[in-house]
Structure 1
Amino acid sequence: MFAFFNRLRKAARRAVLPVAALALAACDPAALGGLGGVAGGGGGPRIDTAKPVPVALLVPRGSGQPSDELLANNLENAARLAMRDLNGVQIDLRVYGTAGNAQTAASQAAQAVNDGAQIIVGPLYAEAANAAGVAVAPQNVNVLAFSNNTTIAGGNVFVLGSTFANTANRLVSYAASQGKDRVVVVHAQDVAGQLGRNAIQQAISRSGATLVGTVDYPLSQQGVVSAVPRVKAAVDGAAANAVFMTATTSAGLPLLSQLLPEAGVTPATTQFVGITRWDIPPQTLELPGVQGGWFALPDPNRAGAFRSQYQAAYGSAPHPLAGLAFDGIAAIGALVAQGNAGALTGSALTQGSGFQGASGIFRLRPDGTNERGLAVATVRDNQVIVIDPAPRAFGGAGF
């Protein structure tokens, strides 16, 4: 059993290490210094939509890390893929390497604007995105960062990465609609776990559900094991009918999903819900404890179409984060196509109707965060089954 968990964890690290690195970089508020409010939310340059629009793409090239180089190439490929679908809009894409660090990101962002860039797509890591935003704020240039860190969002920085808040809102709302409205939150004591907990608690407060318990644990095998009796007590003591977990497939989820049923917290009476992806890596779907559990994921049809398009163009599957670069270019192209000289201002970027991206609809919010159309899925017979489809437009199901 534990040998299987070890294999799963190793596979998960290979599959999603860059995603985990992004999450960790995006979850250290003390290291960031918060950008919010550096530039006005409606700011941005005026452009000539009849001419090619200079766009800077900041990628983590030059760090010397193979994972960063792979991701940099995938992000650039996805951006160029999006440019093929812009129906006459011309983008002058200029690519800059950040070496994965904040100082280089700031200098490259400033250089990009000096070179004529009118908007920046990227960079990846939160500190780098924060630094880039500060560097170009005096020039009234907006930044569409690949980070999912909402602490850097605001002013001239918009985050494209999927956020805990977006996922929690979708899942809590769906759970409440299904009568799973008495919630125990189970989370690790690290920063990511705390941010996930906060997102779930805030979503509960807006949904009509009730938070009946919270159980935390040190991020270790023994920490997870020792938390199980406390989860059991919290569920029984408050008659909870849902357990929301922040655990990832590479840290905590395999143990929790196995030990909780063994302790008597069974999916038959208590719905397991996760705010991380339970289908990455695919081996996770084999775990007995996740059968019947709920999690959120991007629109499978749109995401599948993007994967196929990318594979056909470049001969390999895209990195899980590559679609963020596609989204940034797609949003810019859609706005420029309207012929509005203010297409790259904050007020235009935050249009309520949003955009069609690599994995479905999304929109940028005035506070610099984003909202994405997500499907709710369950695991049944080791397969992902969508039980509530992603919305096709804002204002529909799940919003």
Structure 2
Amino acid sequence: MFAVLSRARKALRTAAVVASAGLVAACGAPMMSDLGGGGAGSGGPQIDPKQPVRVALLVPRSDSGAGTIARDLENAARLAIADLDGVNIDLAVYDTAGSPATAASAAQRAVDEGAKIILGPLRGEVAVEASKVVADEGVNVLSFSNNPSIAGGNLFVLGPTFVNTADRLMGYGRRQGLDSVAVLYSEDVPGQFGRSAIQQAAANNGIDVATTQPYPLSIDGVTSAAQNMGNVVSESGADAVFITTDATNAAMPILLQVMPENGVDPAQTQYIGLTRWDVKPELFGYPGAEGAWFTLPNQSMQQNFSSRFSAAYGTSPHPLAGLAFDGIAAVGALVKRGRSDALTGRALTQSAGFQGTGGVFRLKSDGTNERGLAVATVRNNQMVILDPAPSSFSGAGF
């Protein structure tokens, strides 16, 4: 245990800042208790599907901290356009500079110049301002944010949400006989979002949240919480411990080492992760990882996108680049149907959804999204798929 604590100590000094920044970069708006905004509108501009359809892409090109992702989002969008058969998309790219005011101006200019739908911006608070200025013209905005609290009206979020992940895991858990969970979360923005998402998903699936346990992002705070979880699980009667912490966070090795040493036996209590543990395979060697559940997208489709992107542009795509591909794929699929109302809110939220870089996804009437996810576990330090990602919204996994 002491080796684990020593390695984690330095990283945890900045963990609070890094963890918050990681989520806020995509979110950037106040949390709402129900993790959802108002309902999305059903309207939108009319198009002529026989003519080129102008799509605006708003990315932070001149933001010094986001140049790489801006480039990759644009490249992914162009890669998706090249895939379209019989659909002519006229892509117009606008720089937001990562600024709400600049994004609002860019969104208005895009619509004035003929854009029928907007992809982006990246950050939640930037997307909010962009959507406001074009709402009265009925133009829908498919932002790259993962913050469900900004969604609604003409603003949709394409980013994977904690609610979607938690719901997939809770649904799977319920089918395995899971009755109650203890939630272990960090006292920061991502941790609070995660806790709320798990509580909502538990309610959706008839699972009891026996207790929620916060911990401060400090070496002592993480260690103390991990040491105490054995008592918490015993007293609450929880069947599982649901951990919100990101796999790359320095707290994770401590939790996965110290909890099993203090009475949270993975053979008796199910460990569940809200984030993708496969991005940090070093975690698989810790005792708490054995048999744990977490989700991931359709791996064959994601690898196919990554390979094609690398072949086209000579570099691996940013993890969020696929969202721009997904947005274009959705627009292209709808325009191909040949209807003038292809880009209205009603069309965007059609129940069958779309095929994206990580599998099937659909936009919901509240402006959030639902994505098909696989449930995976760890066996003998190797990832194993327990329940494959669904290929449509009519089968298992939803």
Q: Normalising by the residue count of structure 1, what TM-score does the alignment of the two structures yield?
A: 0.92
Q: In structure 1, what is the Cα distance between the partners aligned to 2:282 and 2:11?
A: 7
Q: In structure 2, what is the Cα distance between the partners aligned to 1:107 and 1:21?
A: 25
Q: In structure 2, what is the Cα distance between the partners aligned to 1:188 and 1:209?
A: 22
Amino acid at match of 1:382: N
Q: State the Cα deviation string for residues 259-288 of structure 1 (Å, max 9, x = none).
A: 101112111111100111112234333444
Q: State the Cα deviation string for residues 272-315 of structure 1 (Å, max 9, x = none).
A: 00111112234333444322211011111111111111112112
Is residue 336 of structure 2 the alignment partner of residue 330 of structure 1? no
8 Å contact kept, 1:27–1:149: yes
Amino acid at match of 2:326: D
8 Å contact kept, 2:12–2:219: no
Amino acid at match of 2:295: A
User: After alignment, is 353-362 or 277-286 more displaced?
Assistant: 277-286
Cross-structure match for 2:55: 55
The 1:367–1:35 alpha-carbon spacing in structure 2 relative to 1, beyond 3 Å, is closer
8 Å contact kept, 1:9–1:250: no
Cross-structure match for 1:121: 119
The 1:320–1:257 alpha-carbon spacing in structure 2 relative to 1, beyond 3 Å, is same
Cross-structure match for 1:262: 261
Q: State the Cα deviation string for residues 12-62 of structure 1 (Å, max 9, x = none).
A: 99xxx7x97451245554499x9955x961111000000111001111110
Cross-structure match for 1:320: 319
Structure 2: runs of 5 or more not aligned: none
Cross-structure match for 1:80: 78
The 1:352–1:40 alpha-carbon spacing in structure 2 relative to 1, beyond 3 Å, is closer
8 Å contact kept, 1:47–1:53: yes
How far did 1:206 drift? 1.8
Q: 1:240 aligns with which of 235, 238, 241?
A: 238
Q: In structure 2, what is the Cα distance between the partners aligned to 1:114 and 1:54?
A: 11
How far did 1:363 drift? 0.2
Q: In structure 2, what is the Cα distance between the partners aligned to 1:35 and 1:258?
A: 35
The 5-angstrom pairing of residues 1-399 of structure 1 reads 1-2=3-4, 4-5=7-8, 21=21, 23-30=23-30, 41-65=41-65, 68-251=66-249, 252-399=251-398
Amino acid at match of 1:173: G
Identity of aligned residues (%): 54
Residue aligned with 1:205, SS = helix
Output the aligned Cα RMSD. 2.4
The 1:83–1:349 alpha-carbon spacing in structure 2 relative to 1, beyond 3 Å, is same
Q: In structure 1, what is the Cα distance between the partners aligned to 2:327 and 2:9?
A: 37
Q: State the Cα deviation string for residues 219-255 of structure 1 (Å, max 9, x = none).
A: 2222111212432222111322210010112332221
Q: In structure 1, what is the Cα distance between the partners aligned to 2:285 and 2:8?
A: 11
Residue aligned with 2:360, SS = strand
Q: State the Cα deviation string for residues 181-205 of structure 1 (Å, max 9, x = none).
A: 2211111121221111111111111
Q: State the Cα deviation string for residues 146-198 of structure 1 (Å, max 9, x = none).
A: 00001110000000000011000000111121123221111112122111111
User: After alignment, is 188-197 or 150-159 more displaced?
Assistant: 188-197
Number of equivalences = 390
The 1:236–1:173 alpha-carbon spacing in structure 2 relative to 1, beyond 3 Å, is same
Q: In structure 2, what is the Cα distance between the partners aligned to 1:304 and 1:149?
A: 25
User: After alignment, is 278-287 or 191-200 more displaced?
Assistant: 278-287
The 1:27–1:140 alpha-carbon spacing in structure 2 relative to 1, beyond 3 Å, is closer
How far did 1:216 drift? 0.9
Structure 1: runs of 5 or more not aligned: none
Q: In structure 1, what is the Cα distance between the partners aligned to 2:141 and 2:118?
A: 5
Q: Normalising by the residue count of structure 2, what TM-score does the alignment of the two structures yield?
A: 0.92
The 1:282–1:109 alpha-carbon spacing in structure 2 relative to 1, beyond 3 Å, is farther
The 1:179–1:70 alpha-carbon spacing in structure 2 relative to 1, beyond 3 Å, is same
How far did 1:129 drift? 0.6
